[in-house]
Structure 1
Amino acid sequence: MGTIFLSEFVGSMLLLLLGGGVVANALLAKTKGNGQGFLFINWGWGLAVFAGVLASYASGGHINPAVTVGLLANGVDEMGGEPVSVGLVLVYFAGQLLGAMAGAGLMWLTYKKHFDTDTDPSLKLATFSTAPEIRSPFWNVLTEVVGTFVLVFVVIAAGKFTEHAGGEGPANLGWLGALGVALLVVAIGISLGGPTGYAINPTRDLGPRIMHAILPIPGKRDSDWGYAWVPVVGPLIGGVLAGLLALVLLP
């Protein structure tokens, strides 16, 4: 299980270093990419997922608890070459959360001088975690459910596509599988990311939000813990629904 933890840790660290980095580049003052906009961020996150999935090959490239619970709901009996157990799932979650925290910390170090500038405190928070454009908890959760459902459902479908074409499942898609997930994340961001910023990953939001709370960032605001449950609960529900409905909708 140590290999699985390390794999998920490294993948999640790269995900948040690069994903958080593209947001910092777009939002923080005096960066080369300042003001580039949402599409720039969408592509940055997609490529961050690409790097994270490739680096976490040993564990199956989950780097997202919603993917892990979606596969469980879909009935997998092994993950990362290990039989499914409560302990194994907790190892996945721990690697994902701690890796996300480490990646957010590295992103902060990379952009530290820009975090030290006089920038809107809400923009500083936005480099770490998501926030809704219109705050309405039910609808914000629903948005995250829908976006994460698409992510996990298509990931499961990709595995079945490979099997139907004569392959051996999603673990053997190689870098083409990672590229496919990256493009899927870009598509979700472009199409469904407008209302909430599409966390679609509980640890992607929670880990960096914890880091925002504890890092010595000048002029920062509160970490908006009143909203923090939304990008955790919504993606977990979406992942479970995708896993269950895939049993019915994907032959």
Structure 2
Amino acid sequence: MGSGSVLVWETLGTAILVLLGAGVVANTVLKDSLGNGGGWLLVNMGWGFAVFAGASLAAPSGAHLNPAVTLGLAVAGKVGWGLVPAYLAGQFVGAFLGAVLAWLAYKAQFDAHDEPANTRGIFCTAPTVPNVGWNLVTEVIGTFVLVIWILLSPGAKAAEDGVPQFGNSALGYAAVAFLVIGIGNSLGGPTGYAINPARDLGPRIAYAVLPIRGKADADWGYSWIPVAGPLTGGVLAALLYLALPV
């Protein structure tokens, strides 16, 4: 698959991922939404199904939808480095577009919301206890689990074109959705489990530029952690994969 096709499919898949993911958070946060107060489990389930929807649509490109996955597969020798820029461009552009679409879908609820400063969490993550070192560790660990599963789950493999082929063909991309829900339930509490630089940075930029009444700042001081942590976790997973007798 050429770079142009990768760019198109990754943009589409990541846009759907973030549209549905940011959408479920908006549904629980905005007071005039039917899902208001739905809680953490609803958010995790929504993000899991968002992964399933986005990945299923982006299957022709391998549905990375995540720079940490792309980097991990490249380090592990499962995708050519020449395609990496197209993957990354599609992921970040798609994440921005998906965030804008989520805002449009909830525009009336954003306008009516009586605590506009708390809307940043609809778009991007933040720690419950700010601590640079430990927040970074949390993101590294969560992403490590995701990428090592992609590389090592029973019967799974990533072909040379970068397309993951999962051992449980009956589940397909639903298996990844279950994993994301599990990571969120188990490891998402400290930082909101970005585990994906595009999923956090693209919507954070969208939040910074969208005309949301009374919004908070984009918290750029924290923004590097959901980028550096997942990329580090993806590389560490790839290095472990290369070191194991697989």
Shorter chain as denominator, the TM-score bin is: over 0.9
Code of the residue aligned with 1:64 in structure 2: it is N
Equivalent position SS for 1:127: helix
Question: How many residues are treated as equivalent by the alignment?
Answer: 238
Code of the residue aligned with 1:196 in structure 2: it is T
**Is structure 2 residue 47 aligned with structure 1 residue 51?**
no
Q: 1:157·1:250 contact (CA, 8 Å) conserved in 2?
A: no
Distance, in Å, in 2 between the alignment partners of 1:122 and 1:192 is: 26
Are the structure 2 counterparts of residues 225 and 130 from structure 1 closer, same or farther at C-alpha, using a change threshold of 3 Å?
Answer: same
Distance, in Å, in 1 between the alignment partners of 2:106 and 2:166 is: 36
Q: Tell me the CA shift for residue 66 of structure 1.
A: 0.3
What root-mean-square deviation, in Å, do the aligned CA atoms of Structure 1 and Structure 2 show? 1.6
1:146: which partner in 2? 141
Q: 1:65·1:96 contact (CA, 8 Å) conserved in 2?
A: yes
Distance, in Å, in 2 between the alignment partners of 1:40 and 1:123 is: 18
Query: Normalized against structure 2, the TM-score is what?
Result: 0.93
For structure 2, which runs of at least 5 residues remain unmatched after alignment?
Answer: 158-162
Code of the residue aligned with 1:37 in structure 2: it is G
Code of the residue aligned with 1:36 in structure 2: it is G
1:161: which partner in 2? 155
Equivalent position SS for 1:116: helix
1:12: which partner in 2? 14
Q: 1:118·1:219 contact (CA, 8 Å) conserved in 2?
A: no
Equivalent position SS for 2:47: helix
Deviation track 1:82-114 (CA, whole Å, cap 9, x = no partner) reads xx134x211110000000000000000000011
Code of the residue aligned with 1:157 in structure 2: it is L
Distance, in Å, in 2 between the alignment partners of 1:161 and 1:63 is: 22
2:71: which partner in 1? 69
Q: 2:9·2:58 contact (CA, 8 Å) conserved in 1?
A: yes
2:81: which partner in 1? 85
Code of the residue aligned with 2:81 in structure 1: it is S
Equivalent position SS for 1:195: coil
**Is structure 2 residue 182 aligned with structure 1 residue 182?**
no
Distance, in Å, in 1 between the alignment partners of 2:204 and 2:114 is: 18
Q: Tell me the CA shift for residue 171 of structure 1.
A: 3.5
Are the structure 2 counterparts of residues 131 and 73 from structure 1 closer, same or farther at C-alpha, using a change threshold of 3 Å?
Answer: same
Are the structure 2 counterparts of residues 213 and 250 from structure 1 closer, same or farther at C-alpha, using a change threshold of 3 Å?
Answer: farther
Q: 1:65·1:236 contact (CA, 8 Å) conserved in 2?
A: yes
4+ residue runs over 3 A deviation: 171-175
Code of the residue aligned with 1:136 in structure 2: it is N
Code of the residue aligned with 1:91 in structure 2: it is A
1:227: which partner in 2? 222
Q: Tell me the CA shift for residue 212 of structure 1.
A: 0.3
2:124: which partner in 1? 129
Q: Tell me the CA shift for residue 175 of structure 1.
A: 7.1
Q: Tell me the CA shift for residue 34 of structure 1.
A: 0.2
Equivalent position SS for 2:213: coil
Are the structure 2 counterparts of residues 122 and 230 from structure 1 closer, same or farther at C-alpha, using a change threshold of 3 Å?
Answer: farther
Are the structure 2 counterparts of residues 57 and 250 from structure 1 closer, same or farther at C-alpha, using a change threshold of 3 Å?
Answer: farther
Q: 2:28·2:38 contact (CA, 8 Å) conserved in 1?
A: yes
